[in-house]
């Protein structure tokens, strides 16, 4: 019995000592607010030169040569501007240590999209027109999510997939 007591005491103490989370550990975060902003931005489309292409078929029989050529002309185009959608996804989260962090992701980054609420019936959303060419939609009280943090990268396991955001500061 005397040899068992120190082992039991050591086991109990090791369970009570916290250990630092590593990048591979999942944590639980609360998403307080998520915002999706969409703007239609002008994009320059350069003009093109006139394109001329000629295709000929020729044949020779004895002293006679025959040929048939077709020329196609694609007219030049002027430079122009078109409207293209541009998205930004941001969120406010609370980490396990209680810190409040601002998150952002852009569609050109892999696995970037807006965060879907864990229980849509408990969250609320509203959309506002930013201008004649855009809008902002904000959802509040999205719920608690599992996530993995690696420095300022945060992978969030949401109902709509594994999303990768960057921590940009605090709120």
Residue range 30-59, pLDDT digits in tens: 999 999 999 998 999 999 999 999 999 888
**For residue 2, is it within any domain?**
no
CB atoms within 10 A of CB 39: 16
Q: Residue 88 and residue 36: Cα distance in Å, rounded?
A: 6
Q: Are 92 and 123 in the same domain?
A: yes
Q: Residue 118 and residue 98: Cα distance in Å, rounded?
A: 20
Mind listing the pLDDT tens digit for each residue in 105-116?
Answer: 988 888 999 999
Residue bearing tokens 């044949």? 59
Q: Are 104 and 153 in the same domain?
A: yes
Task: Give the domain extent around 139.
Answer: 17-44+84-170
Q: Are 99 and 148 in the same domain?
A: yes
Q: Which two tokens stand for residue 144?
A: 């608690």
Residue 69 has pLDDT above 50, yes or no: yes
Count of structural domains within the chain: 2
Beta carbons of 37 and 130 less than 8 angstroms apart: yes
Tell if the pTM clears 0.75, that is, is over it.
Answer: no
Q: Are 127 and 61 in the same domain?
A: no
Beta carbons of 102 and 169 less than 8 angstroms apart: yes
**For residue 54, is it within any domain?**
yes
Q: Are 160 and 91 in the same domain?
A: yes
Q: Are 37 and 110 in the same domain?
A: yes
Which residue has better confidence, 151 or 132? 151
């Amino acid at each position: 019995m005397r040899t068992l007591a120190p082992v039991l005491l050591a086991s109990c103490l090791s369970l009570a000592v916290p250990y630092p989370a590593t990048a591979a550990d999942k944590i639980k975060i609360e998403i307080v607010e998520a915002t999706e902003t969409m703007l239609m931005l002008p994009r320059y489309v350069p003009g093109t030169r006139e394109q001329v292409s000629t295709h000929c078929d020729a044949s020779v029989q004895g002293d006679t040569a025959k040929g048939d050529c077709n020329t196609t002309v694609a007219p030049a185009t002027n430079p122009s501007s078109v409207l293209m959608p541009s998205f930004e996804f941001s969120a406010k989260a609370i980490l396990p240590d209680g810190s409040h962090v601002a998150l952002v992701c852009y569609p050109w980054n892999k696995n970037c999209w807006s965060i879907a609420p864990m229980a849509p019936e408990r969250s609320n959303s509203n959309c506002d027109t930013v201008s004649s060419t855009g809008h902002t939609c904000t959802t509040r009280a999205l719920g608690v999510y599992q996530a993995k943090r690696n420095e300022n990268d945060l992978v969030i396991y949401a109902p709509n997939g594994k999303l990768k955001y960057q921590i940009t500061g605090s709120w």
